[in-house]
Amino acid sequence: MRAYELIKETFLRRGYIWMVHAIWLALYGLFWWLFIPDEEEFGRFLFTWSGFFLPLALSAGVFGDDIASGRICVLVTKPFWSGQLYIYRLLGLSLQAAVHLLLAAGLIGILHALMRRGSLEGLGLWLLASWLLFNTCAALSTSLSVVVGRAYNSLVLFVVIATGYVVVNLLTSLLRQHASAGTFMSFIKYPWPPFELLSKFAGGEHEEYGLTVARFGLVKSIGCVLHSLMLTAAYGVIGIILLSRRQFSCMRD
Amino acid sequence: MVLVQPNQESACSEGTRAVVECRQLTKVYKKLLARRTRTVCALREVSLSVHRGQIVGLIGPNGAGKSTLLNLIAGLILPTEGAVTVCGHPARSVRARDGLGYMPEHPAFLGGYSARATLQYHGALLGLSREAIARQVDKSVQQLQMQEFIDRPCCDFSQGMKQRLALATALMNDPQLLLLDEPSNGLDPVGIIQLRDLLKQLRQAGTAIVISSHRLGELEKLTSDYIFMHRGRIITLADQAATGQAGRLRVELVSNGRHVAEALLPASQVLEVSDTELVIAVNDPADVPDIVANLAKGGARITSVLWQKEDIEEVFVRLCQERT
């Protein structure tokens, strides 16, 4: 019952959430219908919108709203471990994303059948990569929401990731010839949401490996999946610690 | 009385175990990287205990530390020093929360949820079964007269409706300890009377209730146990004047009031004086017959005597003035 209510709440907490899902699905449909993309183009579009922008929209203020309204003071006086509050909310977001991606697959499947153009090959891997990326971004955004007020967690995350993307690309081009560049780039790259790794996992590096899952090396594929799951868990643990340690003051003298 | 002196053990046997025990609580608010001069000591070495079936009114001027104390008992904030236990468990623990019902000053709910859905949601968070939730919802609807708005969305609620719903959510688990912050805010007179009756029923059932309120008249109708707070400290209630015994004696005379006052009464005891009226501060009502007899013996021609017990508002104002 508790899990069900907390998961359900992630969908019902704001009136616009169902609209976000509808708009995103409409975007996929429009992109497919207007541009007749190949599988990789569509995969990358789906990956970006459902893996990065969707969690930002769905997790905006996931804890910040409660903190701003004072609702959190009642929630954290209930007799259960505060971590459960975090876990079930993240699970709620993750389940929404899973259903969202299944609906997206269904929609594209219908469009493909009706229009008889484009390719659905590899869509499954893109869906999986999108869901994994969604989870890492949602965990990061949810953890940020414990300390950032209202819905600013999504905005902050967007700005940080966009800036980080530019900085990493600049450093990559600058340090390309340097001996320690690889180690340095790994240090920068791996703790952050795995945009590159998961897009390679879904897009593939053709004919590079003998033993493959779809179009990517088996070990690397497993590594990518595990890496994203571990990142989700790590971001989640940080959020749970923050939530458990944070003091909430809702009353005014 | 509710106060426990520092370093004094309070009764903790099974029958008389305190529902809330605060020992030497100190709370200092300090912003990250702030200078020492910018820290605020909201609570200083506060010790108290609240027992089953007791209603305790928490009163004091703004910034006295009432909300900080309530927050500490609710486990929302951590003490800088000292400890709080609720039902024998540390305040922030899950077992302490098991017996806790908390109603904030400004209750907030998910706008899209109806009152019924909100109660079901809180029941689920408390770990109640579907049947128990349904039972509690029906009980709350009856107790708090929520029939008219139980299926309306919370975003349409008036302050009074929100207060009723917040109280209903706090009562979902039949708590052993109920913390209420300004519970009568926004309630109409009928609502206030219903709230008072409900709190009395809960007290009879053994619930310990701590109320922070500025409506002293309302508190006075509920309890005689108060905690006066001022600048983070509990003002000692050992002074009889603060415990509700004190009052004023209004004596009407034929004439010579000023002369009588000067001759027969210590100046500190005379609050108001005119030729035909004296107002005398009295700490114990048992002293009234002696005072009247002395006045008569001294030649005062008394036409009427009126004993007025000091109400909680007067005590509050007097204590605040004394402390500032």
Contact B245, B285 (CB under 8 A): yes
CB contact under 8 A, B105 and A251: yes
pLDDT of residue B180: 95
Beta bridge partners of A20: none
Q: What is the secondary structure of B1-24 as a DSSP string?
A: --B--TT-PPP-STTT--SEEEEE
Distance CA A196, CA A173 (A): 16
Among the partner-chain residues B63, B95, B110, the one whose CB lies closest to the CB of A253 is B63
Query: Exposed, middle or buried, A245 (CB in 10 Å: 0-12/13-18/19+)?
Result: exposed
Chain B interface disruption, residue of A12, A251, A252, most B CBs within 10 A:
A251
Cβ neighbours, 10 Å, residue A65: 19
Write out the two tokens for B260.
């009588």
CB contact under 8 A, B74 and A5: no
pLDDT of residue B36: 66
Close Cβ partners of A234 (under 8 Å, ≥ 6 residues apart): none
Residue type (1 letter), B52: R
Cβ neighbours, 10 Å, residue B91: 25
CATH number for region B241-323: 3.30.70
Distance CA B86, CA B19 (A): 6
What are the extents of the domains in chain B? 20-99+175-238, 241-323
Give, for all 324 residues of chain B, the pLDDT tens digit: 444 433 333 333 344 578 999 999 999 988 776 666 678 889 999 999 999 999 999 988 888 899 899 999 999 999 999 999 999 999 999 999 999 999 998 999 999 999 999 999 999 999 999 999 999 999 999 999 999 999 999 999 999 999 999 999 999 999 999 999 989 888 899 989 999 999 999 999 999 999 998 888 888 888 878 888 888 998 855 444 455 577 889 999 998 888 888 888 988 888 889 989 999 988 888 889 999 999 989 888 999 999 888 777 777 777 777 776
> Residue B156 carries which DSSP code?
G
The CA distance from B122 to the nearest CA of chain A, in Å, is: 8
pLDDT of residue A54: 97
Write out the two tokens for A114.
């009706």
The CA distance from A236 to the nearest CA of chain B, in Å, is: 21
Distance CA A240, CA A185 (A): 29
Produce one character per residue of B250-267: b if its CB has 16 or more CB atoms within 10 Å, e if not: bbebeeebeebbeebbee
Residue B52 phi/psi, 5° resolution?
-55, 140
CB contact under 8 A, B71 and A79: no
The CA distance from B309 to the nearest CA of chain A, in Å, is: 28
Number of H helices, E strands in chain B: 10, 14
Produce one character per residue of A205-223: b if its CB has 16 or more CB atoms within 10 Å, e if not: eeeebeebbebbbeebbee
Q: Does B134 touch chain A (CB under 8 A)?
A: no
Which residues of A fall below an 8 Å CB-CB distance to B? 1-2, 4-6, 9, 12-13, 15, 69-71, 73-81, 247-253
Distance CA B29, CA B79 (A): 10
Q: Is B282 helix (H, G, I), strand (E, B) or coil?
A: strand
> Residue B91 carries which DSSP code?
T
- Per CB-CB distance under 8 Å, the chain A contacts of B75 are 76-77
**Domain made up of B20-99+175-238: CATH architecture:** 3-Layer(aba) Sandwich (3.40)
pLDDT of residue A207: 44
pLDDT of residue B52: 93
The CA distance from B69 to the nearest CA of chain A, in Å, is: 10
Give, for all 253 residues of chain A, the pLDDT tens digit: 899 999 999 999 998 999 999 999 999 999 998 888 888 889 999 999 999 999 999 999 999 999 999 999 999 999 999 999 999 999 999 999 999 999 999 999 999 998 887 778 888 999 999 999 999 999 999 999 999 988 999 999 999 999 988 887 888 788 777 777 777 777 777 888 898 889 888 887 644 443 444 556 788 888 889 999 999 999 999 999 999 999 987 643 3
CB contact under 8 A, A250 and B104: yes
pLDDT of residue B68: 92
DSSP H helices in chain A: 2-12, 17-35, 39-48, 54-58, 64-69, 71-75, 82-115, 123-147, 152-174, 181-189, 195-203, 218-245
CB contact under 8 A, A12 and B62: no
Contact A87, A172 (CB under 8 A): no
- Per CB-CB distance under 8 Å, the chain A contacts of B95 are 79
CB contact under 8 A, A1 and B64: no
Close Cβ partners of B35 (under 8 Å, ≥ 6 residues apart): none
Contact A167, A239 (CB under 8 A): no
Contact A18, A8 (CB under 8 A): no
pLDDT of residue A109: 92
> Residue B311 carries which DSSP code?
P
Among the partner-chain residues A74, A77, A253, the one whose CB lies closest to the CB of B62 is A253
CB contact under 8 A, B102 and A81: no
- Per CB-CB distance under 8 Å, the chain A contacts of B125 are 2, 5-6, 75, 78, 80
- Per CB-CB distance under 8 Å, the chain B contacts of A78 are 97, 122, 125-126
Write out the two tokens for B68.
């900080």
